[in-house]
Chain A
Amino acid sequence: DAGVTQSPTHLIKTRGQQVTLRCSPKSGHDTVSWYQQALGQGPQFIFQYYEEEERQRGNFPDRFSGHQFPNYSSELNVNALLLGDSALYLCASSDTGGTYGYTFGSGTRLTVV
């Protein structure tokens, strides 16, 4: 049973560029959340998608946007990259309501130079 799959694993971008990260949820999960984890910090919630709609959003600017597809996979887009966007981006999937927990992918390490 495949877990949560994220791509790419590493990425280097230049300030001002745009980036797209991808996530395939665990089989049987319909809800996808995205988190940003800066070095030495706990993950911070970016947003959550369910039924192809953004259900909830954290304190991130509009430069961060996302999408969920009918097969429940999801994308995170970041525009106008800043040096401070350098972080590990984690995707988590869950069943509706998260009662059985949230499964995290291996993450995408984004470096902005």
Chain B
Amino acid sequence: ELKVEQNPLFLSMQEGKNYTIYCNYSTTSDRLYWYRQDPGKSLESLFVLLSNGAVKQEGRLMASLDTKARLSTLHITAAVHDLSATYFCAVVNFGNEKLTFGTGTRLTIIP
């Protein structure tokens, strides 16, 4: 059974600092997604990573995928308060259409 783990679970960081969220998954996957969720709200799609070595960037966020290591990272550059949210990675197995979500990382940016 596919398991997806994120770390850290909670992260407080100061504005202007850089940090990385890690997403590990247990079995071979062909697709990985990153989502953002604000309190009480739905999931906002950030990135879709489809192949080994894929790197995508949007503003202060950059995501990468290493399928051999079964690892994805979400890097935050020069954090700003607006990035405070919970971030989830989600993985889809080959021949399977369900998203298996990680535990989530609750990110708080402190001024």
Spell out A's residues near B (CB within 8 Å): 31, 33, 35, 41-45, 48, 55-56, 58, 90, 92, 97-107, 109
Contacts and interface: CB of A to CB of B under 8 A. Distances in A.
Contacts of B44: 104
Contact of B104 (A42, A92, A104, A107): A42
Contact of B99 (A41, A55, A92): A92
B77 to A, nearest CB: 23
A35 B100 CA distance: 10
Contacts of A56: 96-98
Contacts of B104: 41-42
A91 to B, nearest CB: 9
B92 A42 contact: no
B99 A33 contact: yes
B48 A48 contact: no
A25 to B, nearest CB: 14
B88 A102 contact: no
A20 B42 CA distance: 19
Interface in B58-99: 88, 90, 92, 96-99
